[in-house]
Structure 1
Amino acid sequence: MSDDTSVLPPEKSEAPGPGAPVPPTVGVDHPRVETTEKLTGDALYTGDLQLPGMLHAKVKQSPHARARILGIDTRRAEALPGVHAVLTGHELDYKIGLYIVDKDILAKDVVRHFGEAVAAVAAESVEIAAEAVELIEVEYEVLTPVLDPMVAFEPDAPLVHPELGSYSYVEAAFSPQPGTNVAHVQKIRKGDVEQGFAEAEWVIEREYTNPSVQHVPLETHVAIVQWKAGDQVTIWSSAQSPFTVRNLFCTAMRLPLNQVRVIVPHVGGGFGGKAGIHLEPLVACLSRKAGGRPVRLQATREEEFSLLPCRSALTYRIKTGVRSDGTITAQQMTMFWDAGAYADYAVNVTRASGFSASGPYELPNATVDAYTIYTNKPYGTAYRGFGHVEFFWGLERHMELVAQAIGMDSLEFRRRNLLKPGSVTMTGEVITADTGDPLACLEAAATSIDYGRLTPEEAEHERRTGRRIGKGVATLHKAPAMPSFTATAAVVKMNSDGSVVLNIALTEIGQGCNTALAQIAAERLRFPLHRVRVAVERDTDKDPYDWQTVASKGLLLSGNATILACDNLLEQGYATAAQVLRANPADLDHDADGVFVRHHRDHGVTWPELSIGYAFPNGNGIGGPLVGVGRYIAQGLTHLDKETGQGLPALDWTYGAHGVVVDVDPDTGEFDVLAISSAYDVGRVVNPGLVRGQCIGGMVQGLGTALCEGYIYDQQGRLLNPSFTDNKIPTSRDIPARIESAAVQTAQIDGPFGARGVGEHPMISVAPAIGNAIQHATGAELMHMPIRHEDVWRALQSHEPIDNWITETPVGSCRSDLPGGNLAVEERTPPLRQAQPVLR
C-alpha cells in the first residue's frame, strides 16, 4: 500500500502574511456543504417549482409488450374540460437516442414494451389529466413478444427493430447489426486463446445470469418545459446531465443550441437513471401544443418501473483454462446484454463491459464477445457501476469455482492472477505502479473479515445456532466509460469581500461533488472552506460545459478543471498585485488574506482590494473582476479497434474488493449477512466522510441487487412487480451489524491532488462476495442473482461434489449450450485432482 503525494502542490508558507495559516482542506473530513439546506427542507427540487399557468401531464401506457397500434381515439379526452393538449405518436416526427437514434417520443405504429407511452395529455390538474388519459381508446393487434435475449439472438427471431439499418448512430464506437436484434457487438482479442486452452490442465466453463433492476431514486423523474414563441425552450429537469439533455433535445427537435436552456436544481438521486434524456421531449411537445404554457410531468413510482429505463439483464458465459498451480492460461467470455426495447446507454454498457470483462486479472490469452440485444421489455440504461455489477457477479463467482475445481484456496488463486506493474490489460494498456494496487485492496478486505478462520465469537455462534458461518471475498475494478474527447470546465469568481463562487455543470446527485470540489478550490486558493461556495443550480446558459455526471469521472475531470480555474484566478490576482506592489510576479506569494512580497511579508494587498479591480488613492483603477477559467479534457484516450478491441479506453482505474461474512442454515437455506467490508484504491482521499458515505451507501445498494431486487415478467411481457410492494429494496433493518470500508491511497498521477473516483465501485462486487461466502459455508453453488433463501435451498438440494463436475468434453471444445447453472470442467492430465475441503 503506497501513499505517493508527489503530485501535491508546494507546501503553504509557514507564516503567510498578516493572517494565521489556513489548515489543509483536502484529506480532511468536512460536513457536506448542502447539509443544512437539505435537512431543513429549504432545498428546492424540480418537483417543487410552480410556474404561472403551469399545466400537468399524464401518459397513456401500453398494456402489451408487443403490438401494432391500429387506432387511437382521443376525442373524449380532448372534450374533457380542463384539457389543453392531447398528443399521439403520429403528430411527432422526431426520434431520440443517445448512441443509436431508435426511439419515438410516443409509440408510433407499434409498441415495443409493456408500459411504453402511446399518448399524453396536458391539463389544468393532475387529476384531470389522469381522467383524460383513461378516456383515450387504443386499438391494438397483440403480437407475441420477444422476451428472452437468447431467443432474440437467434437468426430467425422476430425483429424488434426491422428498421435498424436506417437509424443514425455513433459509428466510431458502435456496430449495430441490421437484420438482427443485435444493437451492438463489442469484440476484444488478446493473445492466442486456442493455444492458451491447449496449455491448460483444467478447463472450467459456466453461465451466470441476473435480471433487470430499477434505480429507484427517492425523487422520481420530473420535467417542466415551456416552449415559448420563437422556439425558445426552457427545460427544468431532475436530470444528471444538463448539457446532454440540451444537446440531444436540440438534435431531435432540430433547434440551435442557443435556443434551449436546461436548468437543474437539487436532484434527489439518479444512479444513472437520469443520465440521458427521458421525459423532456414529450413535455416540450405538450407545451408547444398547449400554446406555450409550461407543462409539468412527474413519473409515479410505478411509471419509474415500466415507462422509464432500468438496468439491463445479463447472461454471461465464461470458459477458463488454468494450470494446477493456479495460473490462468486462457479465458473466453461471451456476454448477452438484454437491452430491452431501445439501445439508450445499453450499447455503451456493452462496450464498457467488453474492455473491463477480465476484472483486475492478468489474462495472457482472452476473447470477449459482448452483444447488446433488443427485446420487448423496458429498456436498459446506465446504472451505478455501468454493467460492472452485472458481469462481476459472473466473473467473481467463476473465479471462486475455478479455484475450487483445482483445489486451491480462492484468496490465493486471486493473489496469483491479479494485475501488477508490467501487466497488460485486455485492450493493451500497460499497468504501472501509479495505476493502483488491487492486491492491497484484496488483502485489506480479507483481513477485515478474518478470512480463512473463525473467530472465537463466530465459533460460539455456530455452536449456539446450528448455522454455519462462511466468509467470501471478491475483487472489482472500473474505469470511466466515456468518449475519448470528454471535457469539462470550471469558473471561479471572486466576490468583493474576497470569497469565491465556483460554477460547474457537474450535477450534485448525492455523491458529494459540491463539497469535494469546494475543498479542492479552498486548498488550491489557500482559503478557509467557508469562503468557497459551489453554486447549486446547474444552468446551460450560465455554467461552463460538462459532458455528463456519470462514470465516476467527476472528481478527476472537474477537480482538475477547478484547480486550473483557481490557478487562472491567482495568476490574474498576482498580475494586478505586481503592479500595485511594484514587484515581479515571481517574487509574490499569497494567503487567505491577500497577495504579498515573499521576502517582505508585510508589503501586500488584500483580496477584497483586488477582487473587482484595484483602485489607487487618486482614483485610477487597474485589473478588473477576478474570474478564473479552467478547462480539462481526458488525455490519451482512443477509440477501440472494432475487430480486436485494442486501444486505450480508460482514463484511470479504481480497484477494490469486498469481504462478506454470512451465516446459513444448512437445512433451509436461510441466511443472514453478518458483516460486509470493502477497500478501494481512491488515489488520495479528499474527504474521508464522503468516501465512507459513498462506500456504505454503495454496499447497501449492492445488498439490494444481490438479495431482493429484479424485474419479473409473465409470458406476455407484462411486468409483474412494478412497485415496492413486490419489488423490494433494502431498508435500515437489512443493513448488517458490521459494515466497514477502507481506503488504499496510490496517488493518481493526473488526478486532483492524486485523487480518483469511487462513486460506483462500492456496490460492484457485493453480490459475488455474498455468493462466495454462502458457498464457503455450505457448498451451495449459486449462478443467478438475486440470491433468495429458496435459491440457496435449491442449490443445496442439487449440490454435487466437485469430482462429479468432470466431463468427457473433448479437449479444446467449447460448450455453448449450457443452461443456467450447468458446469463443464475438464482436467487435461490424470490423475483426478481432489478438491480441498471447503474453506470456512
Structure 2
Amino acid sequence: MNNKYVGKGIPRVDGVEKVTGEAEYVQDMKLPGMLYAKLKTSTYAHAKIKNIDISKAKALPGVKAVLTGKEAYYKLGIYMVDKPILAVDKVRYYGEAVAAVAAVDIDTAEKAVSLIEIEYEPLPVVQDIEEAFREKSVLVHEHIESYKWIENVFFPEPGTNIANHFKLRKGNLEEGFSKADLVLENKFYQPQVLHVPLETHAVIAKWGSEDRIKIWSSAQSPFAVRDLFGVALGIPKNKIEVTVPYVGGGFGGKAGIHFEPLVALLSKYSNGRPVKFVATREEEVCTFPCRQGLLAKVRTGVTKEGKIVAEEIQYLWDAGAYADYGVNIGRASGYSGVGPYDIENVKLDSYTVYTNHVFGTAYRGFGHAEFFWAIERQRELIAKALGMDPLEFRMKNLLKPGSRTITGELVNENTGRVDKCLELVAEKIGYNITKTDEEKDREKKTGKYRGKGIAVLHKAPAMPSSSATSAIIQMNEDGTLRFNVSGIDYGQGTYTALAQMVAEKLHLPIEKVKAVYESNTNSGPYDWQTVASRMLILAGNAVLDACDDLINQIMEVASVVLRAVKHELALEDGYVYVKQHPEERVAFDKLAIGYVYSNGNSIGGPLIGRGKSIAQGLSNLDKETGQGRPGLDWTYGAHGVEIEVDTSTGDIEILKIVSSFDVGHVINQTLIKGQAIGGIIQGLGTALSETLLYNSDGKLLTRNFVDYKILTMQDLPEKMEVYFVETPQLDGPYGARGCAEHPMISITSAIGNAVSNAIGTELYEVPLTADRVYKAIHK
C-alpha cells in the first residue's frame, strides 16, 4: 500500500499533553462543595457480618454520609449479577468493602472509617482451587440459582462453587487416543497477579435532582458504566451521564463497573454534593479485582511421527469471590484453549470456580497468557519425549490454510499465519537446542547455563455479536477536523492510529485532524467497551465509514459549486478539485458550514459524518460441543527467548527476546512496537516475579510493591526485537487486526521452555523465581 500516513510512525497525538502534565485525569479534578470517600474493608476472607455499628462515625463532625450494605443493597455484574455494592450478610474475601463514608476531607473520612465497628463470625475459608471445585466444598455463594446471568451463554451449577462450565467437544476422543503412540499428562499452575496501572481507580459522582446522575470515572468504557449502573440501580439511561477523561492505564482492571454506584449513592445520601473516591495502592491491590489464577490439566496423545491426535484438557479458573469477567474468561479460554494447533479430537472443560480470594476480572490476554503457559510447556515436553526438535514438532501441528479450529472455523489464506511468525522468530533468535562441546565446557566452569525457548500464541476478541461502535467526524469552520469515538485510549495509542486513517482517507494533513479525548455518554457516539483488542478494528471501521459519509456530503456540495458530477472530483490537501482540471477547486473551509456564493446565496450546511461498525458473523456456541463462530478475527504470533540461568542462585537473566505477530497491516510502526514491547515486559513480570500470596486464613500478604515484585528497568533484557507479518484482514480497516493483548501471551512458556533447554529442569508453576528455580535444580 502506498499510503501517506497509514503504516508510518506518526508521533502520539496525546504525547505532549501527557508529558507536560496538561492532561487531566479524574484524580486531578475538583468540583465545588466536593466531599471525599473512604472505605471500611473486611479483615476476614470469609465471615458472617453479625453487626455493624456506624453511630460513632455518623456523629463525627464533617461526616455527611455513612453507608453499609443495607443502604447500598444493589447487586452488580456484567455477565452474572452476584456482587453487592457493599457486602451484605457476609464477606467473601479479605479487603471486600463493607461500609463507606463521605466527609469534608480525607482525614475526616479516614477517622470516620476507623470508628466503624464490625462484629464478624468467621467461616471456613476455601482457597485451593481443586478443593473449591469438589462437590462438598465450602460454598462461597450458597444460592447461585437466585442470581441473574446471561442464559444460553453462561452455565453456572447451583449447589457448587462453579460459576460457569464451558464445554468443547470435537471429533472422537477415545478413537483419537487409540491412535496415539505416546500419551503425556501434566498439570500446570499460574497464580493470581495484579494489573498495576499507574493511576489507581478514581471516581467522582454527583446525584442531582430528579435522579439525574453525573459520573466522572477512570473507566475503560463509559457506556458500559452507564449501562451497568442503570440496570443495577433501576435508573433510566437518559438520566445517567458518564464522562471518562484521560486514563492512566487499565489492562482490563478498569473494564465494566466498580465503585461508581457506591460513590453516587454517597452523593445521594449527602444531599447531592459531589463525592470523590481515589483508591490507595493498597485498596487497588486488596479491594479491586486482579487476574484470575489457573490450574490446568492437559493430556495429549501423539503419534511417533509427531502428529497430535487427541487432547483432553481441564481448566480450573480461580475466580475469587465474584464472577465479574471471570466467567467470560473461562468461556474464551475454552473455545481457543488448545492454541493455534490443528487437532481433530478434543475434549475441553473450562470451569470458573469461586474461592475466598480477591475476585478476578479481565486482564491483558483475557485468560490466554495463563492457559498458554500450560499448552506451550506441554508441547515442549511432548517434543522432548519424542526426541523431536520442538520447532519441527510445532510446525507439524500448527493451523494452516484449510485447517479447522476446535470450534469448526475454517482457516483460510486471509486468516493470518502463525507458521510464518514462528519461522521468523526461530530465524532471528538463531533457534538451536543442541549445544556445542565448547558451550557445555563453559557452562560447567561458570555454573551459568544458556538456553533458548520458543512458543506460539493466538487470540480473537472475546465479545458478543452486539459489540458495536460508532464515530462522528465534524468539520470545523477552518477546514480542520475533529472526530469522536467513545472507546478509550488509555495508553495504547488508538486515537493516533484513527487520526492516521482519517487523514489518509480524506487526503488531509494529519496536523488538521484532532481526536476528542474526553468521552461522554451524552455527547459522544456509542461504543460497547474498550476491551478485547477490538478498538482498532471496530472503531477503525466506524471512523472510515464516517469518512465515507463526510466525503459524500463534501462531494454533494462541491459538485454544485464546481459544476461537475461527483465521480469527476477528488480530494487533496484540504481541497476538492476536478480531476481533469485540477485548477478548478474549492477549499474545505469554504464548504465546512455551508458554501456561500458572492451574491449571498448559500447551499449545504455543517459537514458532519457519522459511521458505525459491529462484530458481524459471530454466533452463540453450542452448549454441549462449543461449536460455532466465536472469533471476529484471530491474531497469531510467536516468541523466542535466550536466557542464562545461574545454577548457584537460580537467577534467570533474559539475554534476548524476539517476537513476531501477524497484525494484518501495520497502521503505526512506532506505536505498535511500543505496544508490543510493553506487553512483553508485562509478560516478563508474570513469568519471573509477580504473584499474590495469602496466608492460611485467606489474608492477602502481598499488599504493596515491597512484597509484590514488579520488574524495574534493570530487570529488562538488553535485546528486544519485534517483527510483523502482514496477512491483510479483509474486513479490517486498511487490512489491520488487533494486537493489544497478544504480546503478553506465551512469554511465560517461552521462558519456561528456555529454562528446560538450559538446565534440563522442567517447571510447571510460575513465577519462575530464583528460589523456585534453585530448588528445582538441586531437588
- 2:612 is aligned with 1:627: no
1:582 is displaced (CA, Å) by 1.8
**2:14, 2:339 → 1: CA distance?**
36
1:784 is displaced (CA, Å) by 0.3
Equivalent position SS for 2:381: helix
- The code of the aligned residue for 2:141 comes to H
Equivalent position SS for 2:655: strand
The answer on whether the counterparts of 1:385 and 1:763 sit within 8 Å (CA) in structure 2 is yes
Q: Please give the residue correspondences for 1:687-766 in structure 2 after superposition, counting only pairs within 5 Å.
A: 687-766=668-747
- CA deviation profile, 1:70-128 (whole Å, cap 9, x unmatched): 00000110111111000010112311111000011000110010000110000011111
**2:438, 2:95 → 1: CA distance?**
51
- 2:375 is aligned with 1:380: no
Equivalent position SS for 1:506: coil
- 2:10 is aligned with 1:33: no
**1:208, 1:568 → 2: CA distance?**
52
**1:492, 1:203 → 2: CA distance?**
58
1:96 maps to: 76
- Greater displacement, 31-40 / 585-594: 585-594
**1:723, 1:188 → 2: CA distance?**
39
Equivalent position SS for 2:80: coil
- The code of the aligned residue for 1:793 comes to Y
- 2:142 is aligned with 1:162: yes
One of 766, 775, 799 as aligned partner of 2:756: 775
- The code of the aligned residue for 2:726 comes to Q
- The code of the aligned residue for 2:646 comes to D
- CA deviation profile, 1:709-749 (whole Å, cap 9, x unmatched): 11101111000111101001111111111111111111111
Q: Please give the residue correspondences for 1:673-684 in structure 2 after superposition, counting only pairs within 5 Å.
A: 673-684=654-665
1:590 maps to: 571
- 2:51 is aligned with 1:71: yes
2:233 maps to: 253
**1:499, 1:547 → 2: CA distance?**
28
1:457 is displaced (CA, Å) by 11
**1:759, 1:454 → 2: CA distance?**
36
The number of residue pairs the alignment matches comes to 778
**1:607, 1:275 → 2: CA distance?**
39
**2:511, 2:182 → 1: CA distance?**
61
Equivalent position SS for 2:604: strand
Q: Please give the residue correspondences for 1:467-546 in structure 2 after superposition, counting only pairs within 5 Å.
A: 467-546=448-527
**1:611, 1:256 → 2: CA distance?**
36
- CA deviation profile, 1:458-513 (whole Å, cap 9, x unmatched): 88974874411100000000000000221100111001111100100010111001
**1:460, 1:791 → 2: CA distance?**
25
Equivalent position SS for 1:177: coil
- 2:770 is aligned with 1:789: yes
1:603 is displaced (CA, Å) by 1.4
Q: 1:458 to 1:298 in 2, by over 3 A?
A: farther
**2:170, 2:558 → 1: CA distance?**
57
Q: Please give the residue correspondences for 1:210-229 in structure 2 after superposition, counting only pairs within 5 Å.
A: 210-229=190-209
- Greater displacement, 125-134 / 789-798: 789-798
- CA deviation profile, 1:782-831 (whole Å, cap 9, x unmatched): 00000111211222234xxxxxxxxxxxxxxxxxxxxxxxxxxxxxxxxx
Q: What is the root-mean-square deviation in Å for CA atoms of aligned residues?
A: 1.4
- 2:179 is aligned with 1:179: no
1:53 maps to: 33
One of 115, 131, 151 as aligned partner of 2:131: 151
- CA deviation profile, 1:590-609 (whole Å, cap 9, x unmatched): 11231122112111211111
**2:435, 2:519 → 1: CA distance?**
51
Q: Please give the residue correspondences for 1:136-147 in structure 2 after superposition, counting only pairs within 5 Å.
A: 136-147=116-127
**1:465, 1:625 → 2: CA distance?**
73
- CA deviation profile, 1:551-590 (whole Å, cap 9, x unmatched): 0011010001111101110000000111112221122111
**2:611, 2:631 → 1: CA distance?**
22
1:80 maps to: 60
**2:658, 2:747 → 1: CA distance?**
9
TM-score computed with the length of structure 1 as normaliser: 0.91
One of 541, 551, 557 as aligned partner of 2:538: 557
1:665 is displaced (CA, Å) by 2.4
**2:439, 2:366 → 1: CA distance?**
36
**1:201, 1:692 → 2: CA distance?**
43
- Greater displacement, 442-451 / 726-735: 442-451
- CA deviation profile, 1:10-49 (whole Å, cap 9, x unmatched): x7xxxxxxxxxxx700010111011110111101000000
- CA deviation profile, 1:359-403 (whole Å, cap 9, x unmatched): 011111001100000111110000000000100011111110011
Amino-acid identity (%): 53
- Greater displacement, 658-667 / 747-756: 658-667
The answer on whether the counterparts of 1:485 and 1:637 sit within 8 Å (CA) in structure 2 is no
Which runs of 5 or more residues in structure 1 are unaligned? 6-10, 12-22, 799-840
Q: 1:556 to 1:461 in 2, by over 3 A?
A: farther
Q: 1:480 to 1:622 in 2, by over 3 A?
A: same
Equivalent position SS for 1:625: coil
One of 591, 594, 603 as aligned partner of 1:610: 591
2:213 maps to: 233
**1:128, 1:675 → 2: CA distance?**
52
TM-score computed with the length of structure 2 as normaliser: 0.98
- 2:322 is aligned with 1:353: no
**1:568, 1:37 → 2: CA distance?**
31
- The code of the aligned residue for 2:707 comes to D
**1:644, 1:280 → 2: CA distance?**
38
1:398 maps to: 378
Q: Please give the residue correspondences for 1:202-351 in structure 2 after superposition, counting only pairs within 5 Å.
A: 202-351=182-331
- 2:640 is aligned with 1:662: no
Equivalent position SS for 1:604: strand
The answer on whether the counterparts of 1:200 and 1:322 sit within 8 Å (CA) in structure 2 is yes
1:666 is displaced (CA, Å) by 3.4
Equivalent position SS for 1:769: helix
1:17 maps to: none
2:174 maps to: 194
2:405 maps to: 425
1:655 is displaced (CA, Å) by 0.3
**1:54, 1:397 → 2: CA distance?**
53
Equivalent position SS for 1:281: helix
The answer on whether the counterparts of 2:559 and 2:569 sit within 8 Å (CA) in structure 1 is yes
- CA deviation profile, 1:155-177 (whole Å, cap 9, x unmatched): 11121111210111111311111
